[in-house]
Amino acid sequence: MNKQKLRRLTMAALCGAVAFVLMYFSFSVPILSPFAEFDLSALPELIGGFILGPAGAVEIIVVKIGLKLLFKGSSSLFTGEVLNLILSLAYVLPALLYYRRNRTKKGAVIGLVLGTLICVVVSIFANIYVTFPVYIQLYGMNWDEIISICSSVNPWITNVPTMVAFSIVPFNLLSRSITSLITLLIYKRLSVPIKKLIQEPGGNENEIQHG
């Protein structure tokens, strides 16, 4: 293993560790979702992914979730972790793959918008057909109780379609939009020193990326 590849893997691990730490600094948005919490753990996934490529982003996400399971365990029979994995991939990979073909600021913006929209769509199906059904089985609940909990913080939620419209969609749209905006504001400042740490003297920037 050459030094650049080792530095690249080390950087992916460090970004994953930072993403894990950021999961601790989370807060709820009760009016949108009494179940989910917002954090900035996707920020290192995006920034690291823009530098290391799609494969690097996947490595960062896996490290983040692995550390979460190692230090905090799972309180949802791994449902929360699976949802985190699915939504992280749905958000980060489209942004990175689009940017890979359009390496401009406009390309980055369009990629982040694309990733946000895909993540919102995936979140609807993942929550309705995976997460909530597992919670219902795990805690002996039913859909009426889920809707009742949501309705207690947002009276516009009266059934599953309104939960999608007034909880799942706005929460994921808001959280991913904030992360995308912060990424655009700080990426350039962070990417230059990170690339210098990874890249071999006289090396090519494209050699950093893998996958």
Q: How far is CA 150 from CA 104, 157, 167, in A?
A: 41, 6, 8
Contact indicator for 40, 21 with CB cutoff of 8 Å: no
Per-residue pLDDT tens listing for the chain (211 residues): 577 788 888 999 999 999 999 998 988 887 888 888 899 999 999 999 999 999 999 999 999 999 999 998 887 778 889 999 999 999 999 999 999 999 899 999 999 999 999 999 999 999 999 889 988 888 888 999 999 999 998 999 999 999 999 999 999 999 999 999 999 999 988 888 888 777 765 555 554 455 5
- The residue written with tokens 């890249």 in the block is 199
Rounded to whole angstroms, the Cα distance separating 108 from 195 reads 18
Tell the burial category of 36 from Cβ atoms under 10 Å away from its Cβ (0-12, 13-18, 19+).
buried
Strands 33-38 and 27-29 turn out to be antiparallel
202 SS3 class: coil
CA–CA separation, 96 vs 82, rounded Å? 21
Looking at the whole model, is its pTM more than 0.85? yes
| Nearest Cα to Cα of residue 99 among 109, 91, 89 | 109
Which amino acid makes up residue 135?
Y
User: Are 125 and 112 contacting, i.e. CB atoms less than 8 angstroms apart?
Assistant: no
Q: Compute the residue count for the chain.
A: 211
- Judge whether 207 and 200 are in contact, CB under 8 Å: yes
